[in-house]
Amino acid sequence: SCCRVCVWAYKYPIDIGQAHIDCHVISYNYVSSHSPIGRQLNRSSNRPVMASDGSERVKLNVGGKIFETNSSTIRSTCPDSLLAALSAPTSHGSIPVFIDRDPEIFSVILNLLRTGRLPANSSGVFSKRELLDEALYYGVESLLRSAMLPPPLLGFDASLVSTIAPAADGVPSAFTATAGDAFLWIAHGGQVSVYDWSLSHAGTVRTHLSDITSICRVWAEAAAIGSGSASGLHFYDLSGGRYIGSTHWTDPEDPRIHKARVAAVVDSASGVFASFDCLHRENSVVQIDKSTLQVAAVIGQQSGSSAKTTVPEKLRWIPANGLLVGSAVQRGVFGCSGYIRIWDPRSRSIVWETSEPGSGRSSRFGDALADVDVDTEDSILFKVCSKSGDLGMADIRKLGEDPWVYVSDENHGAFKVADGDRSGGYSVVHCYRKQVLAARGGALEVWSGVKEKTIRRRNFVDKEEDSKRGMISKIEAGGDRLFVSREFMEGVEVWETCNFSGIIPVE
């Protein structure tokens, strides 16, 4: 019904066509679509209420500056946004709508609507936070996010774009970024700082721990954290800074299993898996029910008396096979030694295992594994050799006594034993979208698959000056970004592929 005090508010006209000529207010702003006038106006063929061919011009007054565009520019990109509502012909008639916002930032938003990209100079003028606030106001956040997120990560074409450093205790003790939504959670000291998809600081939560050495994202806003100096696996809601609960590994029948600390943690659809280590070296992998935070199963308990039975320092879940991969590596003056073990949580049994160094008859004796990771898309196990730098591959579906296929790079320019900060054994390896990223000293390399071939090729990710910043301690990738931390260095490095990068075919 009409809410305007005039003659039309009290008496419906006999001639509806005359009504919308004499009172545009009724037909545009004050007539409900369910009222008699509204129903007649909607059926009127000579003047449809919302009809538009998409080419009519729309004027908006933003902060006193007039902007003009086509209605199709707004409605085709963000039909449910505030801008679409303001650009509708029934909302304001011929008078430009006044919006009390910054016109300079709106010009960037309007260019985003027209081209789907941000202007090249926008990053130097406005911060990501300013652009995001305006996009939220106008209802075009999803469009801004698509424009700001990096293109697919190519390790051989990535470059360092920024370093994210928390304000206090800037040296990260752990971080996670593998959820796929481009969020980064950094543990530093006893705190956890959250950075959203735009790498803007979203908040910091202080935990009851003095230090955090393991962190895993188990829900959209909740993390599981562990400490090398305190027992238990602890769950925190990082959106509200709320402590949720804790899980401890205990055994009333074995007094040695007491005050077990967490060495590694990984999330899965069937629960959270965490490796616990006791003061007496007893260790195991514990499956935790996410609905109750109680221990659901204890897998692979061992004494920890040798290098082959130490606590798993790295856990990976393979969703396609429902298998859990654990590994541990010890480093010393005589090289590396360690093991890889695969469990089936359903039967709580070991499916396959191997330990290195192998026997003296092995051609790889003395060149033990330095780190292990899993390509969960193709179910391939990767290891890097500590001395030769060769990459070992094993199909998890065809494991045997010696399943490794070694890939070496004959390009001597890509690997030199005496090459300063680029020398020495590998320390970290990480798989991401059919790429294997490996750190050797302070250098970062990538093994990439060659299209339509089974071979892999190694390239440096960083430049020589980048490798001099310090020893790489951890690599993770997520949301088409590569995150790198270095020993005793503040912050987490962010690597991306440039939007303007690409392969130019040569005729």
Task: Output helix, strand, coil percentages for the chain, rounded to the nearest 5.
Answer: 20, 35, 45
SS3 at position 205: strand
Classify domain 53-148 at the CATH class level: alpha beta
Q: Which residues have a Cβ under 8 Å from the Cβ of 403 and sit 6 or more positions away?
A: 394, 395
Strands 380-385 and 391-395: antiparallel
A 10 A CB-CB count for 156 gives 15
* Contact call for residues 496 and 485 (beta carbons, < 8 A): no
What is the model's pTM?
Answer: 0.79
CA atoms of 371 and 373, how far apart (whole Å): 7
Secondary structure (DSSP) of 435-470 = EEEEEETTEEEEEEEPTTSS-EEEEESS-TTGGGG-
Tell me the helices (H) and strands (E) count for the chain, helix number first. 11, 31
What pLDDT was estimated at residue 157?
87
- Closest among 477, 429, 438 to 461, alpha carbons compared: 438
Q: Which two tokens stand for residue 300?
A: 């692979």
Q: Please provide the size of the chain in residues.
A: 507
What pLDDT does 5 receive?
39
- Other Cβ atoms within 10 Å of 376 Cβ, number: 16
* Closest-CA residue to 448 (of 499, 503, 387, 488): 503
Three-state DSSP class for residue 15: coil
Q: What does the pLDDT read at residue 384?
A: 87
pLDDT tens per residue across all 507 residues of the chain:
444 434 334 333 434 344 333 444 343 333 444 544 445 444 443 443 444 445 678 888 899 999 888 888 887 777 888 888 877 665 555 678 888 999 999 999 998 888 888 887 776 688 888 899 999 998 888 889 888 888 999 888 888 999 999 988 889 999 999 887 889 999 998 999 999 998 989 999 999 999 999 999 999 999 999 999 999 999 999 998 999 999 999 998 888 898 999 999 999 988 999 999 998 889 999 999 999 999 999 998 988 788 888 999 999 999 999 999 999 998 877 778 889 999 999 999 999 999 888 654 455 667 788 899 999 988 999 998 887 777 889 999 999 888 988 886 665 555 444 444 444 456 789 999 889 998 888 888 888 876 655 556 778 887 778 778 888 999 999 999 999 999 989 999 999 987 654 444 444
- Which class for 67: exposed (0-12), middle (13-18), buried (19 or more C-beta within 10 A)? middle
Give the pLDDT confidence score for residue 13 in this predicted structure.
Answer: 40
CATH fold for the domain made of 155-497: Methylamine Dehydrogenase; Chain H (2.130.10)
Q: Please write down the HEC assignment for all residues of 489-504.
A: CCCEEEEEECCCCCCC
> CA-CA-CA-CA torsion for 325, 237, 488, 491, nearest 10 degrees?
110
Domain boundaries, the chain: 1-49, 53-148, 155-497
User: Strand, coil or helix: what is 39?
Assistant: helix
Please report, to the nearest 10 degrees, the dihedral formed by the alpha carbons of residues 90, 91, 92, 97 taken in order.
Answer: -150
In whole angstroms, give the CA distance from residue 292 to residue 492.
33
Tell me the HSE value of 418 on the side-chain side, using a 13 A CA sphere.
Answer: 0
Q: Do domains 53-148 and 155-497 have the same CATH topology?
A: no
Q: How many angstroms separate the CA atoms of 360 and 98, rounded?
A: 81
